[in-house]
Amino acid sequence: MEKLKVKGLKQKIRNAIQTGEVTMGSKLVMKVLLKGDVKLVIISEDCPGEVKERILYYSKLSEVPCYPAKGGSLDLGMACAKPFPVSALAIIDQGESNILEVTKH
């Protein structure tokens, strides 16, 4: 599984947040994965082990691509323009961003 750099994703994530629909936080990500509305999941490198395993399991069941971002939850939070750590985020609607293109690599 290729790791995505947070710096390269920063603009794409912000654009998706502004123009589309994004869910942040591991608990919410797991909930939306179970509903089946998710197009892409991004998790931080330092996402807690059990949480990371559950998100990977749910994404595999839902056939949703799940990519680890290269960087910690603080880096991912900063990429989302949030003043707190974000361990996982789910792209429900990419809006005007091209963030789903990262799954084609």
pLDDT tens digits, one per residue of 52-102? 999 999 999 999 999 888 889 999 999 899 999 999 999 999 999 888 887
What is the full DSSP assignment across 23-78? EESHHHHHHHHHHT--SEEEE-TTS-HHHHHHHHHHHHHHT--EEEEES-HHHHHH
pLDDT tens digits, one per residue of 12-21? 899 999 999 9
The Cα–Cα gap between 86 and 10 comes to 13
Q: Is the pTM of this model over 0.85?
A: yes
Domain boundaries, the chain: 4-104
Domain 4-104: which CATH number of 3.30.1330.30, 3.40.50.2300, 3.20.20.70, 3.40.1160.10: 3.30.1330.30
Residue 1 has pLDDT above 50, yes or no: no
Token pair of 74, please?
A: 């603080």
